[in-house]
Structure 1
Amino acid sequence: MSLQDYGVLKGKAIETKKGAGSSPHFQILVSDDKLLFRIAVNFQSQEPPSDVLYFVDENFHHPIIDLLGPMPKGFNKLACKPGGAALDFIRGNLFDTSLMIPLPYDISGPDNDLNELVQKYVAKAIAMESSTIYAFGERWGPENERDKFFGFTPGNGIHDIHMNQGSSDKFMKYDGVWQDGSLVIHLPDENRWIAIFLAFQSQCFHTDDVQGHRIKDICDKVPPKPAEKSICIIAALVNPKGADKGLESVTLLNTTPQEIDLTGWSLADKNKKKLVLKDGIAAGEARRVHLSGQDIELSNNGGIITLLNKSGIKIDGVSYT
């Protein structure tokens, strides 16, 4: 079924309420200059382990930034496909998912839980008049009742501000590709963007490209953690002198102590066009892959490059602006 009304809410953060109770959600009151919205950020999984995985990029750079600025304030519905502003933790090369770690939502002591972590960044957005907050997820409302946290009418908001794929059987009906949630904060006075990414420990980072379901042959045999990088993308020539066609390249590095056969592996661009690789890459070898221009294309205006093994599993990925 996937998410029915996926998109991004753009506005000014006004107020927050910390997550508490049996279903703790961090609440953010946002204005788009016409309507009020509530962002509900889930801080606890219904399935064990309950602590949520998180990663914060305090200096976020990605091609989607160029798409967010021109967007009008309010809720913007997004197409769940590559090439636009929709998010996908696995395919979008937004960040290294292996850096996500679990964190309780509320424990005693300073600066040691999700409530305090998210509050720190949203407080910056509230204090800075020129700031903008972007919440990716599924919209609800407007409702014919008062908001139960901030009291405005009509109730209106966005939730599912977390990864929305690779779920267990109980929640797999909400899986989908290019529909992940996140908080992104623009702080113009500091000339930076901050991105907050959340996922549940019960979710898997290996999903199929159609429905976003966990690939059980991989996820259920080993702990659902991102694959260790055996081959890395270390460089790309995206804007060579002269005509780009036939002169662009991507450089791969084998970080293992043995040769790896790349036959059947592929490189993919932001539109998921693929270049199938062949032959082996020796231990420690850096291999420059020349692009013909007939397969994948590296935009001069920013994009993503993904390396997939022969099973279609993401091994590495980068973004550039």
Structure 2
Amino acid sequence: MLIDSYDRVVDYLRVSVTERCNFRCQYCMPEKPFSWVPKENLLSFEELFEFMKVAIDEGVKKIRITGGEPLLREDLDKFIKMIYDYEPSIDLAMTTNAFLLKGTAQRLKNAGLKRINVSIDTLKPEVAQAIAGKDVLKNVLEGVEEARKVGLKVKVNMVPMKNMNADEIVDVLEYCKERDMSVRFIEYMENKFAKADISGLKSPELLDILRQKFEFEDEGFDGSSPSHYYRMIDGYRFGIIEPYGDDFCKQCNRIRLTAEGNLIPCLYFDEAMSIAESIKRGDIKGAAAVLKEVVRTKPEKNRWGGEDDEASNRAFYETGG
């Protein structure tokens, strides 16, 4: 079992398989050229899998595949199957923009993937194009429907932004509610790679908008999830992720691995330790030692919200947010 110095059990590993993305979302990487890390700099799926085995053996129970956009990396289903075959009880999930999901959902499901998180920031094609930098909405929605059809559980994320998509908060919730998909509204996270003039909505503003249409009660946090949940009178639940809130880090059970092998203890922090050298030379004990050290030095909380608060230097497209 992996336990950090604040007595939190760390059993959730987020694995970025690529920093490449086919979107250029305003709140993530709008100005980044369509380039990518050379393939030889990335850990192969076989090398990543060697570390997955280490993590699972040390107590990791949930693995989420992220990017960039993970579906841009070929043979992703084979990597998922490696993990599933090693430990079928692992909670295997993926975060995707769903643009390529329609043609891959069945293979991913067959490989052992259980759940996906999809970003749906708008239901208007022109707004989606403005946010993502290209015409994407039709493919995204078709990908979501295909995922549901093949039996993948779908959760939706939305980043509400003023003067962009704030008027669609209710519409996106109703779209998800009609399809029995959970939705989480994510407060915009300040970062130096985003468009400078973005202004996100905070939790009180979101709740005020939703109260105009719905009745609901506060359920608080659910285990180690970063979402603050609310339940409507008909039982439907939605969540709000508040990265600047005092409780955001309290139950954090996550660490992150980049495609190049950097193991990161906190979403905000730039500090990392590499497992690449150990894995490449077959030093499993060395990789396990790095894992334990990263967990041991995991910070109590991120650096948002303090007196010296500033936008993060962390490129979220490298770590999957």
Give the TM bin, normalised by the shorter chain: under 0.3
Pair member with larger Rg:
1
Greater relative CO (CA pairs within 8 A, separation 6+):
2
- Normalized against structure 2, the TM-score is what? 0.28
Higher share in strand: 1
Higher share in helix: 2
- Normalized against structure 1, the TM-score is what? 0.28
